[in-house]
Structure 1
Amino acid sequence: MSISSSTDSVPRPSLRRVVTVLMAPTLMSIMTMSMFAVAVPVIRLEYALTADVTSWLLVAYTLPFMMFMPLYGRLGDGLGKRRLLLFGIVLFIAGTTMLLFVRSLPLMLLARAVQGIGAAGVNPLAMAIIVQFAPPEQQGKALGTWNSIGPAAAIAGPLIAGAMIDALGWRSILIPALLVGFCTLVFTARFLPPGTRAVRPRTVIRGFDWGGVALFNGAVALLVFFTSSRPITGVPPLRDLRLLAAGLLLLAGFVLRVRRRQNPFIELSIFRNRNFSLASVCVSIRMLLMGGAHFVLPLFVTDLYGLPSAATGSLLMLHSGALLTTMWLGGILIDRWRSRMQIVVGLGIESLAMLLFLLLPDGAPLHRVFAILGLHGLGAGLCLAALHLYAMGAVSRERSATAAGLYSMVRFGGSMLGAAIGGVVLYAGLETHGMTAAGYRPAFLFYLVVSVIGALSAMGLTKRMPRPVE
């Protein structure tokens, strides 16, 4: 049988093979993201950017990355997950090539957006394939194993990027990203088994809710622009009411359309499930903290400690190493204990890390910064597989790609907000206190408050994870 539930006459590939193949596109996207995070302080200096504009180097990628996830998920159920995954890889390579050659900041942001659109399909499609293919008792371990390539890539990425940036400039990091992209395309096309489709592609495309896609993505983009409006319209953040009004108008139109259509772009009914909704909120907060850490900490150690790119890469490598340590363990533990406390403890550890960052005095030793970030990584890794299973176990396998797309959208929406809102808060802090520890404290306070909300939200999950819906 193929990855999609199809006929018994087709040989079923091994779970190990499927998970291994799906690690390749994940390696491609995460390694590139982690390498680019090291380059952000250098690009900020080269283009003389303020903190809120600097955040758009990340938001330009994560905003379309988030918005297109449910699109890949919905189309994956009809057009085939493998086909869409390969399309996304090609688009990611195109965006990376564009970023290598453009020089103006607007075109750089456009190239980042193309990268984000291409990479958007990796997580929802890979998750849906694994959940659909793996037996219920092996899903946690399979997801944990697949996810482990993320921090592994994020360990290697910053080290490679730091050395290359110091020696050759920040654009040099795009060369290994392109090489990995082309290898991923060949590897995935050759070894990922094709699925089966019950509906003709032309029928899926003609019947798809493209109007809903336009309304939803337009609303999300405008509301994000409102949050960090200075780089877009020149108006201070949260004050350009034109963006807010237009965003809310499109959002209202989208909700009305969902209620009237039989097969809408986003099935809001999925969010009626308690575990799916709360797991989505918690994973979004987890990613908000991750995105915030990868945005703020490189700037923090550059401004306060004067670290070169190679040392900044070592900092992010440590975080990814800590993440990897508990991510694999978390997959095994959730299969065994199936308890929400694993999520509560993980988010609680992240809250403690943000509290320690907030309390850092001026002149604190650098090793303390490294230790706190490592602690944050341990908490973030512990809860990830549990969050995936609490969410995906709440939906049937037939709706797995759709649910994975929505879940991934909310998840990485947190990463985008971590950089966008974090950039606005950081800009205000630095304007008031200058490039000091006090200037960074408002950002750490923001992340602390959000992390506590996440830990409390996890208490609303069912005490034990229910068995997956068939």
Structure 2
Amino acid sequence: MTSPTSETSPPSPAQVTTRPWAAMLALCVGFFMILVDMTIVAVAQPQIQTALQTDVNGIVWVTSAYLLTYAVPLLITGRLGDKYGPKLVYQVGLLVFTAASVWCGFSGSIGELIAARALQGIGAALITPQTMALITRIFPPEKRGAAMGVWGTVAGVATLVGPLLGGVLTDSLGWEWIFFVNLPVGVVGLILAAVLVPSVETHDHQFDWLGVVLSAVGLFALVFGIQDGEKYSWNAGIWTLIIGGLVVMAAFVWWQSRIKGEPLVPLSLFRDRNFSLSNIGIASMGFAISGLMIPTMFFLQLVGGMSPTRSAVMMVPMALLTGVLAPIVGRVLDRVHPRVIIASALLLNAIAVGWLGMIARPQTPVWQLIIPMCLMGIASSGIWAPLAATATRGLPWHQAGAGAGVYNTTRMIGSVLGSAAVGALMQTRLAAELPGVDTEHHNATGQLPEMVREGFATAMGDTLYLPAAVLLIGVAAALFFVKPKHQGPPAAPEGTQPSGEAAPAGPVHSS
């Protein structure tokens, strides 16, 4: 039901709450938790594989299920917040996410863990757009920049904390505790939200449920077909599923062009060249980040013999370099053609990922592995914020928020496809390098037997060439950027849709 205030003028931020920073602190708890959970799982994957007696495909589904149920609802969960109130939907999402985390920790089989992770993804999809929508409602324009700066810092810290916390918890208490740790955090977040977060006016929306169903069915068919292709020997059923998924996604696009009212994806956004090209760029980046984590962690732990904590520490230079250099890149972005920064950064990232794949061998010293990881950190500083800013800068002011929501969803879809495709390639390369060898049942606290390390390392390294190649597609797209005209107030890359959907405030790595 639409509140009376929504038909006149919305209340000022001062009328909404007199404690905007306290409200934002409460929102940061939930936002921080879901960002940490996107990276905390990566370092525990070898231990989960052993504990639940599953194969590589099962482990990849632990990631893919979460990303899939996170990506598909994003275009509609913001509108749920507008209709029922962002505070209420945020609390429901936090409750779902926390309960699903406990279920993850108690999972006794890989199927149960995958189901629990899928429920986690739904909770995250409910939380994400409400947090940014509330910030834009409770802060006046002159303080919104400072609030967004704090928001971006939270995202950066979460990216750094996730792998480290995952490593420490896995080493000391077991993999289950990377999920159990969310219980106290979620309870505190719910209490703080109830006390500190204000209720704001609501607006009615039309919901394109057919669009949601088409996008969900199409994406699931594609992900399942790609990821499980090797398992079923790429038989006719798998190819039918993949082709069917493409047909359903084409039907989704057609439906978006025909629907009256509020389409999930306003296709008119893609008339802007930079917006269209930026979506290709961020999809390639989402694909690469999601795709490189699994083979990298398997290599570091099962070939390199690193503990989960030590393998997580290997990621620290990458995160630190991104955090230090991103503000510097931001200051020069307006003075340089976007293709110079973004194409160069994507190319550097592709080279770094390919380099890591080339040297991922048992005899490679650790310091040599850190070099390409540092290059990835340098490259990331020229990708996340510059791409987001370029995507929305040329859009009309009234469409900037809608563009940010579509852009965010495109990144998640890239991550889903990256996880599935890399999982399929890992299985193919393992079958080629170690035919008939069981690498799935091993000591979770140590290395693989010496006789299989070379073949396993080669398979993981070869797998990394796929995300490197996909990044080159992003490079090609970035070369066709046009220099944006300076017009009016620039749209924040983390801007909010009228429905409350937001792009990420910082680099977010998939689990």
**The TM-score by the shorter chain falls in which range?**
0.7 to 0.9
The aligned counterpart of 1:109 is 114
The aligned counterpart of 2:273 is 274
1:164 pairs with 2:184? no
- Shift in Å at residue 171 of structure 1? 0.4
1:460 pairs with 2:498? no
1:124–1:404 CA contact under 8 A, matched in 2: no
The aligned counterpart of 2:462 is 442
The aligned counterpart of 2:411 is 411
Instruction: Describe how 1:40-119 pairs up with structure 2 within 5 A.
Output: 40-119=45-124
1:240 pairs with 2:233? no
Output one character per residue of 1:79-135: Cα deviation in whole Å (capped at 9) or x when no partner. Answer: 444433332222211211211222121111010001011112444444555678889
1:150 pairs with 2:155? yes
1:165–1:309 CA contact under 8 A, matched in 2: yes
| Distance change in 2, residues 1:348/1:372 (3 Å) | same
The aligned counterpart of 2:299 is 300
Structure 1, 278-287 or 234-243: larger mean CA deviation: 234-243
Once residues 104 and 60 of structure 1 are traced to their aligned partners in structure 2, the CA distance between those partners, rounded to angstroms, is 15
The share of aligned pairs that are identical, in percent, is 26
1:96–1:177 CA contact under 8 A, matched in 2: yes
Report the 3-state secondary structure (helix = DSSP H, G, I; strand = E; otherwise coil) of the residue aligned with 2:54. Answer: coil
The aligned counterpart of 2:371 is 371
- Shift in Å at residue 301 of structure 1? 0.7
Report the 3-state secondary structure (helix = DSSP H, G, I; strand = E; otherwise coil) of the residue aligned with 1:55. Answer: helix
- Shift in Å at residue 15 of structure 1? 8.0
Normalising to structure 1: TM-score of the pair? Answer: 0.86
Which of the numbers 248, 251, 257 marks the counterpart of 1:250? Answer: 248
- Shift in Å at residue 390 of structure 1? 2.3
Where in structure 2 are there 5+ consecutive unaligned residues?
435-452, 492-511
| Distance change in 2, residues 1:356/1:385 (3 Å) | same
Report the 3-state secondary structure (helix = DSSP H, G, I; strand = E; otherwise coil) of the residue aligned with 2:94. Answer: helix
| Distance change in 2, residues 1:159/1:10 (3 Å) | closer
Where in structure 1 are there 5+ consecutive unaligned residues?
none
Output one character per residue of 1:257-280: Cα deviation in whole Å (capped at 9) or x when no partner. Answer: 323321233322222322222222
Instruction: Describe how 1:168-207 pairs up with structure 2 within 5 A.
Output: 168-199=173-204, 204=205, 207=206
1:24–1:188 CA contact under 8 A, matched in 2: no
Once residues 144 and 421 of structure 1 are traced to their aligned partners in structure 2, the CA distance between those partners, rounded to angstroms, is 35
- Shift in Å at residue 368 of structure 1? 1.7
1:260 pairs with 2:258? yes
1:95–1:111 CA contact under 8 A, matched in 2: yes
Q: Which residue type is aligned with residue 66 of structure 1?
A: A
The aligned counterpart of 1:220 is 219
Once residues 255 and 360 of structure 2 are traced to their aligned partners in structure 1, the CA distance between those partners, rounded to angstroms, is 52
Report the 3-state secondary structure (helix = DSSP H, G, I; strand = E; otherwise coil) of the residue aligned with 1:359. Answer: helix
Once residues 81 and 324 of structure 1 are traced to their aligned partners in structure 2, the CA distance between those partners, rounded to angstroms, is 30
Once residues 328 and 189 of structure 2 are traced to their aligned partners in structure 1, the CA distance between those partners, rounded to angstroms, is 27
2:89–2:127 CA contact under 8 A, matched in 1: no
Q: Which residue type is aligned with residue 185 of structure 2?
A: V
Output one character per residue of 1:202-252: Cα deviation in whole Å (capped at 9) or x when no partner. Answer: xx3xx4221221122111111111111248x84538961331243244334
Equivalenced residues, count: 462
The aligned counterpart of 1:345 is 344
| Distance change in 2, residues 1:110/1:396 (3 Å) | farther
Which of the numbers 6, 10, 17 marks the counterpart of 1:6? Answer: 10
Structure 1, 220-229 or 454-463: larger mean CA deviation: 454-463
The aligned counterpart of 1:420 is 420
Q: Which residue type is aligned with residue 455 of structure 1?
A: V
Once residues 82 and 340 of structure 2 are traced to their aligned partners in structure 1, the CA distance between those partners, rounded to angstroms, is 33
Once residues 264 and 224 of structure 2 are traced to their aligned partners in structure 1, the CA distance between those partners, rounded to angstroms, is 23
Instruction: Describe how 1:390-409 pairs up with structure 2 within 5 A.
Output: 390-395=390-395, 398-399=398-399, 402-409=402-409
- Shift in Å at residue 179 of structure 1? 1.9
The aligned counterpart of 2:320 is 321
| Distance change in 2, residues 1:383/1:188 (3 Å) | farther
Q: Which residue type is aligned with residue 255 of structure 1?
A: V
Report the 3-state secondary structure (helix = DSSP H, G, I; strand = E; otherwise coil) of the residue aligned with 2:265. Answer: coil
Query: Greater helix percent: which structure?
Result: 1
Structure 1, 443-452 or 315-324: larger mean CA deviation: 315-324
Once residues 236 and 318 of structure 2 are traced to their aligned partners in structure 1, the CA distance between those partners, rounded to angstroms, is 32
Output one character per residue of 1:64-93: Cα deviation in whole Å (capped at 9) or x when no partner. Answer: 111111122344454444433332222211
Q: Which residue type is aligned with residue 286 of structure 1?
A: M
Q: Which residue type is aligned with residue 190 of structure 2?
A: L
Output one character per residue of 1:41-86: Cα deviation in whole Å (capped at 9) or x when no partner. Answer: 1112223433333211111111111111112234445444443333
The aligned counterpart of 2:208 is 209
Structure 1, 276-285 or 7-16: larger mean CA deviation: 7-16
Q: Which residue type is aligned with residue 110 of structure 1?
A: A
Once residues 295 and 240 of structure 2 are traced to their aligned partners in structure 1, the CA distance between those partners, rounded to angstroms, is 29
Report the 3-state secondary structure (helix = DSSP H, G, I; strand = E; otherwise coil) of the residue aligned with 1:195. Answer: coil
1:96–1:178 CA contact under 8 A, matched in 2: yes
Output one character per residue of 1:173-210: Cα deviation in whole Å (capped at 9) or x when no partner. Answer: 222222222223333444444433343xxxx3xx4221
Q: Which residue type is aligned with residue 476 of structure 2?
A: L
1:73–1:401 CA contact under 8 A, matched in 2: no
Once residues 122 and 330 of structure 1 are traced to their aligned partners in structure 2, the CA distance between those partners, rounded to angstroms, is 29
Structure 1, 173-182 or 214-223: larger mean CA deviation: 173-182
Structure 1, 116-125 or 126-135: larger mean CA deviation: 126-135
The aligned counterpart of 1:380 is 380
The aligned counterpart of 2:44 is 39
| Distance change in 2, residues 1:20/1:455 (3 Å) | farther
The aligned counterpart of 1:360 is 359
| Distance change in 2, residues 1:274/1:75 (3 Å) | farther
| Distance change in 2, residues 1:329/1:114 (3 Å) | farther
Q: Which residue type is aligned with residue 348 of structure 2?
A: I
Structure 1, 360-369 or 70-79: larger mean CA deviation: 70-79
2:223–2:416 CA contact under 8 A, matched in 1: no
- Shift in Å at residue 33 of structure 1? 2.2
Structure 1, 104-113 or 171-180: larger mean CA deviation: 171-180
Output one character per residue of 1:128-163: Cα deviation in whole Å (capped at 9) or x when no partner. Answer: 556788899998876564233233123223222222
